[in-house]
Amino acid sequence: MVLKYQSLISSMTLEEKIRLTSGKDNWRTVEMKHLEIPKITVSDGPHGLRHQEEGQDHLGINDSNPATCFPLACLTAASFDEDLLHEMGKAIGYEALCQNVQVVLGPGVNIKRNPLCGRNFEYFSEDPCLSSRLATAWIRGVQSMGVGTSLKHFAMNNQESNRMKSDSLADRKTMHDIYLKAFEGPVKAAKPYTVMASYNLIDGIYACEHPYLLGDVLRKRFGFEGVLVTDWGAMNDKVKSLQAGLDLEMPGGAVYFDEEVKEAIRTEKMDVMVLDQSVDRILELIFRTRNSREEMLSEYGPLDKESVDREKHHELARRVARESMVLLKNEEGILPLKKENKARILVTGVLAEKPRYQGAGSSHINPYKVTSLLEGLDGRHIPYKYYQGYALTDGVPDEGLQEEILSAIEEDDIILVAAGLPDEYESEGFDRAHMRLPKQQDDLILKLTKRSRKVVVLLYAGAPVEMPWADSVSAIFNLYLPGQAGGEAAVDLLFGEYSPSGKLPETIPFRYEDHATSEIFGVDNYEVEYREGIYVGYRYFDKAEKEVLFPFGHGLSYTSFQYQDLSLSRKEIRMEEEDEVIVSFRLRNTGPVEGKETAQLYLERVNQEGYVVKKSLKGFRKISLKPGEERNIEIRLRTEDFCEYDLNLEKEVLYEGGYRIHIGSSSRDLRLMAEINSIGIHPDKEPVPEYYRKPVEKPSRRDFERLKGTWVGKKQSGKPYTVDDTLYEMKDALQMRIVMRILKRVLTGATGVKDENDSAYKVVYSMFMHTPIKRLSLLSPDKMPKYLGESIVHIANGEFLKAAKKMREKK
């Protein structure tokens, strides 16, 4: 094995090499001045930098340098615009350059398996094609500035509850066709400098030490050559991780793990070349980013935190939000509103004044400024009257607040309702309890529809919500979490300065119970059964022939588009050839205003039998057309776009037969169709349960076990506790009460908040409660000593004498 930095590595001691594989602190690698190895800095930031300099808040919740808060992935995915994501990534890369950050930790491409995942706002879509294409563009944008990225979280990380110990169980077809596919494209096409391994287990093995996923899939099949880094505090066994292909532990684990690596090499349980290879990759990252920074500085000149053109980046954030917001409903053309219209505009909802523009957790940005909906209206000199309408809580509806707006309504008034989820509903660290808005918001909207025929709802939420009022309101605008310029972007669209062009990157069902995973998500947070298999999002609703409130890919415009003249560049495709099919069609703007349309291409296998989806997204193009303008559109498909994972052959194959190519405006608005023959293997009758042939009902555990070919047993936790257990698992032990009281005092001080309902506190509290003691020292303030963690375990087990002995030994 040839190492690029062999000479430098040979000059390092074993201790130095091991030390380089652990972070210096939360955000920096180890510096070794005597070897001329500089440190590099990493920063959270899928939608903007959350850069913490040395000496700032260790926990990473409250204190970070100001930066542009761009729209979140839940919204940018709705743009279906790769060029836009590239431009946004480039701006984030520039800000990283200005703050001397070498790696931005993002993007997140985990599939939205269930709408209640607390971190869905940080991820793109329920669809791997869309997630993959947009992530690729974003990575290329950031890395064009000489700044690295960290594609995350690899893999099967689709919930927040018990994320440190949950075991994701899925069949291989589901893993490869859905969850790993979102990572494959960016790794191959964009070559991110790093990939971040997730907290959870996969089939009983931690993601950070999974030989098949890290070695066989990521390193060999996907060809990843960069640094594989743990999620923060995700290390479980460093020897196994290094042997599986992982390189860098963050934020650093000298307490538990580094000595274990030294001992494994001393006893020849691990070859020192495994360590050397990881060190080589880390050195390549360090020197590559440092050299890239020097090249960029020679082009852009000296840069510091004040070099960012804040107004320019604010305007970009506004444009990204504007291109992404989704008009879900527009009855009788109530939108766009006319500035000269004499009808009064009444605005209600506290979110119009204090918008929820980002999520809680590690991606929380300290923005330069934030504009609300009210400020957007004020900036355009649009007259309105504002009424709070509700309190942003779960409490009993405030009749006084509701009556204030209800009594003010006159017959022709237009009501703009800003509704959405409070911070404490969705966050990193925990999942949502349900898919509903706070009850008082639903109550208010329903009451408003009885007083007015012109109610427009603007939704602020990082994921779908139930809409019991959807049939009664005139229009619904889904703003998701729109970043710092969301208020201005919304007003731009409401008043027709631009035509909406966002498309839903996920399905919105009528009710949560309609979802394929509604009966199993969050029920067992130890063994997480992916019983639904490949039927994720629209793939389930299509195959089950279920009606939905708003389908994947849906989004209205102020104009209309005509599709015609579909043609294919070839009549068949073969597995053994590097074939490419050029799909051509014409798109015409048949409406009154300029607008953008996202044409979507779906593949459907002909003569479907067995374990196969009805159709899947394989390409898209977003096109701007003036009224009456017509253009020829091309979307290219490669052989691999037609391939699927075969459970029997355990590899991706092209099946014999043929495919239908559908072109349309959404997954359920398909306008054109053509067929192409495929020359490949004959599909065997896969031995799968009936549910996976036709998913009408919900799958049972027995169905899942037969599909997966293994028995699924329920894990138990309890005494005797070990350092692999969590505070959450120990909290009910009688003797732990004083420990829990002390923990709450420590965390309120560390987060700088006093209210335990504050989202910042809830994030950190959840993180601490669900982190195994063995790894808690990595995340705790001032690094909790090893002896203290072991003492807590003894206390939970009622072994007070052992705990006291540990404390005496330390003294």
| 743 is a domain residue | yes
The structural domain count of the chain equals 4
Alpha-carbon distance 697 to 358, whole Å? 36
Residues 111 and 245 in one domain: yes
Alpha-carbon distance 770 to 728, whole Å? 6
| 232 is a domain residue | yes
**Cβ–Cβ under 8 Å, residues 637 and 619:** yes
Q: Which of 117, 183, 193, 111 minimizes the C-alpha distance to 150?
A: 193
CATH number, position 651: 2.60.40.10
Low-confidence ranges of the chain (pLDDT < 50): 58
Residues 288 and 322 in one domain: no
E-strand stretches of 499-590? 527-529, 561-568, 572-574, 580-589
Token pair of 677 as six digits: 């023959």
| 703 is a domain residue | no
Alpha-carbon distance 228 to 658, whole Å? 39
Residues 651 and 735 in one domain: no
Alpha-carbon distance 762 to 800, whole Å? 30
**How far, CA to CA in Å, does 102 sit from each of 53, 144, 147, 182, 198?**
13, 12, 5, 24, 21
| 696 is a domain residue | no
Q: How many residues does the chain have?
A: 811
Facing residues of 164 across strands? none
E strand or H helix that includes residue 801: helix 800-810
**Cβ–Cβ under 8 Å, residues 617 and 667:** yes
pLDDT at 737: 78
Tally Cβ neighbours within 10 Å of residue 342: 6
| 705 is a domain residue | no
Residues 265 and 391 in one domain: no
| 3-state secondary structure labels for all residues of 151-173 | EEEECCCCCCCCCCCCEEECCHH
CATH number, position 327: 3.40.50.1700
Which residues lie closer than 8 Å to 175 by C-beta, 6 or more apart?
A: 155, 156
pLDDT at 58: 46
SS3 220: helix
Alpha-carbon distance 507 to 514, whole Å? 11
Final residue before a domain boundary, out of 506, 525, 552: 506
Residues 294 and 319 in one domain: no
Token pair of 74 as six digits: 């839940």
pLDDT at 789: 79
Catalytic residue check, 231 = yes
| 264 is a domain residue | yes
Mind listing the pLDDT tens digit for each residue in 264-308? 999 999 999 999 999 999 999 999 999 999 999 999 989 999 999
Mind listing the pLDDT tens digit for each residue in 208-264? 999 999 999 999 999 999 999 999 999 999 999 999 999 999 987 666 788 999 999
- Which residue shows structure tokens 């899928």? 46
| 3-state secondary structure labels for all residues of 565-601 | EEEECCCEEECCCCCEEEEEEEEEECCCCCEEEEEEE
What global pTM score does this model have? 0.95
Residues 289 and 317 in one domain: no
Domain span holding position 756: 727-810
Final residue before a domain boundary, out of 630, 654, 685: 685
pLDDT at 62: 53
Question: Which candidate in 231, 258, 492, 542 is catalytic?
Answer: 231
Residues 478 and 338 in one domain: yes
Residues 209 and 254 in one domain: yes
E strand or H helix that includes residue 509: none
pLDDT at 622: 98
Tell me phi and psi for residue 15, to 5 degrees: -65, -40
| 37 is a domain residue | yes
Residues 167 and 216 in one domain: yes
Final residue before a domain boundary, out of 279, 300, 321: 300
Residues 266 and 185 in one domain: yes
Residues 294 and 383 in one domain: no
**Cβ–Cβ under 8 Å, residues 526 and 718:** no
Pairing of strands 205-206, 475-478: unpaired
| 157 is a domain residue | yes
Alpha-carbon distance 114 to 112, whole Å? 6
pLDDT at 185: 97
**Cβ–Cβ under 8 Å, residues 447 and 390:** no
**Cβ–Cβ under 8 Å, residues 672 and 663:** yes
Residues 88 and 225 in one domain: yes
